[in-house]
Each structure stands twice: as C-alpha cells, then as structure tokens.
Amino acid sequence: MRTTILAFGIALVGLIMVAVGVWSLLVLQTEETVLLADLLTAMGTIAGGLAMGGLAQALRLLLEINRKG
C-alpha cells in the first residue's frame, strides 16, 4: 500500500512540474526579450516532470509484477 501511495505521490509531483514548466513557457512568450537560459530552465522543468511520471509508472509496474510473482 505504501508503494502505491508513493507512486501516486511521485506522479502528482511530476504532473505539477510539467504544469509549472508549461506555465513558465507561456509567461516567457509574453515578454519582449527571452533569454536562452530561461527557455532551457522551463524545458528542463518539463523534462524533469516527465521523468517523474516515468519513474512512477515503473514503480507501479514493479508493484504489479511483485503481486503476480
């Protein structure tokens, strides 16, 4: 049960990170000058969020394998 809650927590954090990264990109579009570092930071946040989602999925799949095995 704790592993399932951990997987959902990780997935939720990943979803929040993706949303924050997308929000950052949207805010950057409204500015006159955009620095490359700002774009890379926003894209890095999105990538980190996607990685957290992948980690949560892998944890969930391992949990299913352990239940069947």
- Would you place residue 1 in the very low, low, confident or very high pLDDT band (cuts 50, 70, 90)? confident
What's phi and psi for 34, nearest 5 deg?
-120, 125
The Cα 28–Cα 24 span in angstroms is 6
The Cα 38–Cα 32 span in angstroms is 13
Taking only the tens place, the pLDDT of each residue in 32-49 is 888 999 999 999 999 999
For the chain, which residues make up each domain, given as ranges?
2-63
Taking only the tens place, the pLDDT of each residue in 46-62 is 999 999 999 999 999 99
The Cα 39–Cα 25 span in angstroms is 7
Average pLDDT over residues 17-42: 93
